[in-house]
Amino acid sequence: MGAPPTLTKDGYEMHMGTNHLGHALLLKLLKPVLDKTPDARAVHLSSAGFRHVGPAGIEFDTLKSAKSETALPYRYAQSKLACLLYAREASKRYPNFKNIAINPGEVQTELFTREAGDDLMKHLQEHVASKLAIPISEGVKNHLWATTSPDINNGEFYEPVGKTGGLEGHGLDDEMAKKLWGWTEEQLKDQAL
Per residue in 160-172, pLDDT (tens digit) is 888 888 888 899 9
Residues 62-95: pLDDT tens digits? 888 866 666 777 888 999 999 999 999 999 999 9
Residues 51-62: pLDDT tens digits? 788 888 999 988
- How far apart (Å, rounded) are the C-alpha atoms in residues 175 and 177? 5
Mark whether 65 is an active-site residue. no
The DSSP 8-state label assigned to residue 128 in this structure reads: I
Q: Which CATH class is domain 14-188?
A: alpha beta
Which of 46, 47, 79, 91 is catalytic? The answer is 46
Which of 12, 47, 79, 80 is catalytic? The answer is 80
pLDDT confidence of 131, banded at 50, 70, 90?
Answer: low
Which of 12, 76, 86, 94 is catalytic? The answer is 76
Mark whether 80 is an active-site residue. yes
Evaluate if residue 121 carries a pLDDT over 60. no
Size of the chain, expressed as the number of residues it contains: 193
DSSP line for 149-171: -TT--TT-EEBTTTB-----GGG
Closest Cα to residue 71, out of 13, 24, 18? Answer: 13
pTM of the model: 0.85
- How far apart (Å, rounded) are the C-alpha atoms in residues 30 and 188? 14
Question: Among 41-45, 129-133, 159-163, 184-188, which is the least confidently predicted range?
Answer: 129-133
DSSP line for 167-184: --GGGG-HHHHHHHHHHH
